[in-house]
Amino acid sequence: MDRFVYLAMTGAKHALQAQQHNSHNLANASTPGFRADLDQLISQPVSGPGYQSRTYASETSVGWDFRHGTMMTTGHELDVAVRGDGWLAIQAPDGNEAYSRRGDLRISPMGLLEDGAGRPVMGENGPVALPPADRVEIGSDGTISIVPMGQPADNLVVMDRIKLVNPPVNQLEKGADGLFRPADGAMAPPDAGVQLAVGVLEGSNVNSVEALVNMIDLSRQFETYVKALGKAEENDAASSRLLRMQG
């Protein structure tokens, strides 16, 4: 009986955890530059006194999908997308540097260049700060130029340069905030080979249709395992009644 219960219990646990990962991906299907989480099942023996006669399934995240998302032309002067491989350097909520491909940039009321989530974009010497300007231009190499307030339209002044990096993806890990960081904790150096497309946004690499199908499939799996747990309880009750009748 306990084998039946373990099979149903671990199956339900796996389906629920997989649903959490799938729901997280689906919720970010429209987040620019989002990278989907990947998961898989691994076997975990039940430890304890005696022999390890039971093994249950454990669902865990095993990495991230680094495939590029679809490029969408917006024409907005502050929208940028990394061409090919590479990352934008962002100041994470903890104050440290992290990396993202989210390129829906904007200027805060304080003059800071931020991504769509309100996180400051890093320049050559820290977060990019801009004075009031009639126009802001971002070059393909990340150079930020402005036309100061009241100045002629051709009077472009270079203010800073967005820090663009390209660390090996197998050395990156994703935090709970959705940003990537080198596993060794070091900061990646600027890479002049990383180029930006301006007026373009990279979409999420989550396949919405596939995620919806997975959601339905995982829901049905969970229901099946819960029904199996109910059947195990019924069998246990029936066995107890038979034993009482024989006694």
CB 46 within 8 A of CB 56: yes
Q: How far is it, in rounded angstroms, from Cα 193 to Cα 183?
A: 22
Decide if pLDDT at 79 tops 80.
yes
Q: What is the pLDDT of residue 247?
A: 56
Q: How confident is the model at residue 70 (pLDDT cuts 50, 70, 90)?
A: very high
Higher local confidence (pLDDT), 16 or 50: 16
Q: How confident is the model at residue 21 (pLDDT cuts 50, 70, 90)?
A: confident
Q: What is the pLDDT of residue 240?
A: 73
Q: What is the pLDDT of residue 227?
A: 87
Decide if pLDDT at 107 tops 70.
yes
pLDDT tens for each residue of 191-207: 999 999 999 999 999 99
Decide if pLDDT at 188 tops 90.
yes
Q: What is the pLDDT of residue 57?
A: 65
CB 138 within 8 A of CB 162: yes
The whole-model pTM stands at 0.79
pLDDT tens for each residue of 141-185: 999 999 998 888 888 999 999 999 999 999 999 988 889 999 988
pLDDT tens for each residue of 118-153: 999 999 999 999 999 999 999 999 999 999 988 888
Q: Which are the contacts of 53, defined by CB distance < 8 A and separation ≥ 6? A: 46
Closest CA to 188 of 178, 197, 180: 180
Q: How confident is the model at residue 226 (pLDDT cuts 50, 70, 90)?
A: confident
